[in-house]
């Protein structure tokens, strides 16, 4: 009896397996025919972003809107104002640079000939802080070398302050832009937690969406700060170069007056 039951079960299992194999074979053949009949599809690159076909300005615009128009607009205003001041300073500093060696030679030639008025005219017709310092010294030439040296030193400080004009605003925007970004991030996180509280459940979509919107403002603020910091450091180096030229030229100018003063 047991042998008969075992044989019956074995035969039934064999028939089931055979039937499944036949169905699988038929399905495989049908799939092969469909693949042959269907046109070849272009392979999809998994690393290709869905929005890569959009231009760069469209992608930036979309991120700007996602980050919140309020805080992103404030960050953008910091960037625009900072760049405007930086560009104005770059133009001004480039115009402030002069050929100090040539200027000194012209002034020395006029002073040597006893024509102080010609030396003043040379300084008036030359742009830059060095020529202005020379002019202030030539005005007080008849008051003695000590007064000339004091005038050159005092007016040099005034010229240096004018060169550094506007840098405090750039430094302010460098500090404010990341702060605005962090503030937008904190507010975005608060909104995300409010949405979770209203939903009554921690949904990955709510958390991820809120975090994404919150972090966009931080990225925007940091990018603005990095850009303005590069311009700021360039301006500082430019000013240091001009100030060094001013100091060197002032020393040479005072020595020149001591040499040719009657």
- Contact partners, residue 74, CB within 8 Å, separation at least 6: 180
pLDDT of residue 124: 86
141, two tokens: 């030439």
- pLDDT higher than threshold 90 for residue 17: no
User: What average pLDDT is seen over the chain?
Assistant: 76
By the 10 Å C-beta count (0-12 exposed, 13-18 middle, 19+ buried), 107 is classed as: buried
Asked whether residue 53 is domain-assigned, the answer is no
Asked whether residue 34 is domain-assigned, the answer is no
- pLDDT higher than threshold 90 for residue 231: yes
CB 217 within 8 A of CB 68: yes
- What residue numbers bound the domain in which 150 lies? 70-262
CA distance 64 to 87: 24
pLDDT of residue 89: 93
- For the chain, the domain total comes to 1
Asked whether residue 64 is domain-assigned, the answer is no
Asked whether residue 19 is domain-assigned, the answer is no
Residue pLDDT, tens place only, 53-103: 666 556 655 655 665 666 788 888 999 999 999 999 999 999 888 888 888
Of 82, 87, 136, the C-alpha closest to 249 is: 136
pLDDT of residue 1: 41
Asked whether residue 44 is domain-assigned, the answer is no
Tally Cβ neighbours within 10 Å of residue 76. 15
- pLDDT higher than threshold 50 for residue 5: no
> What single-letter DSSP state applies at residue 99?
-
By the 10 Å C-beta count (0-12 exposed, 13-18 middle, 19+ buried), 110 is classed as: buried
Phi first, then psi: give them for residue 24, nearest 5 degrees. -65, -40
pLDDT of residue 207: 66
Q: What is each CA distance from 222 to 58, 82, 210, in whole angstroms?
A: 21, 14, 19
* Least confident span in 50-59, 210-219, 238-247: 50-59
222, two tokens: 């940091």
Residue pLDDT, tens place only, 149-195: 888 888 888 888 888 888 999 999 999 999 988 887 787 777 777 77
Given the structure tokens 């020595």, which residue do they identify?
255
Asked whether residue 93 is domain-assigned, the answer is yes
Kindly write down the DSSP assignment for every residue of 143-183, as one continuous string: G-HHHHHHHHHHHHHHHHHHHTTTHHHHHHHHHHHHHHHHH
Asked whether residue 262 is domain-assigned, the answer is yes
pLDDT of residue 65: 60
CA distance 215 to 218: 5
25, two tokens: 């074979």
Asked whether residue 51 is domain-assigned, the answer is no
Residue pLDDT, tens place only, 40-59: 444 444 434 444 566 655 66
pTM as predicted: 0.69
Banded pLDDT at 217 (limits 50, 70, 90) = confident
């Amino acid at each position: 009896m047991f042998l008969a039951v075992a044989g019956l079960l074995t035969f039934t299992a064999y028939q089931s397996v055979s039937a499944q194999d036949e169905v699988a074979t038929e399905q495989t053949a049908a799939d092969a025919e469909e693949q042959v009949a269907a046109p070849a599809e272009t392979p999809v690159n998994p690393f290709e972003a869905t929005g890569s076909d959009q231009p760069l300005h469209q992608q930036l615009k979309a991120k700007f809107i996602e980050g919140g128009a309020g805080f992103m607009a404030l960050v953008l205003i910091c960037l625009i104002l900072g760049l405007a001041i930086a560009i104005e300073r770059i133009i001004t500093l480039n115009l402030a640079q002069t050929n100090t060696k040539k200027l000194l030679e012209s002034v020395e030639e006029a002073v040597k000939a006893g024509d102080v008025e010609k030396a003043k005219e040379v300084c008036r017709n030359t742009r830059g802080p060095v020529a202005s310092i020379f002019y202030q010294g030539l005005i007080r030439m008849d008051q003695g070398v000590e007064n000339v040296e004091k005038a050159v030193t005092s007016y040099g400080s005034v010229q240096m302050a004018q060169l550094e004009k506007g840098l405090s605003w750039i430094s302010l925007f460098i500090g404010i832009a990341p702060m605005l970004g962090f503030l937008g991030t904190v507010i975005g996180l608060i909104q995300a937690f409010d949405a979770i509280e209203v939903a009554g459940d921690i949904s990955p979509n709510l958390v991820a969406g809120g975090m994404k919107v919150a972090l966009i403002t931080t990225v925007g603020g940091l990018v603005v700060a990095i850009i303005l910091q590069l311009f700021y450091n360039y301006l500082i180096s430019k000013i240091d170069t001009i100030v060094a030229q001013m100091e060197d030229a002032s020393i040479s100018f005072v020595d020149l007056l001591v040499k040719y003063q009657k």
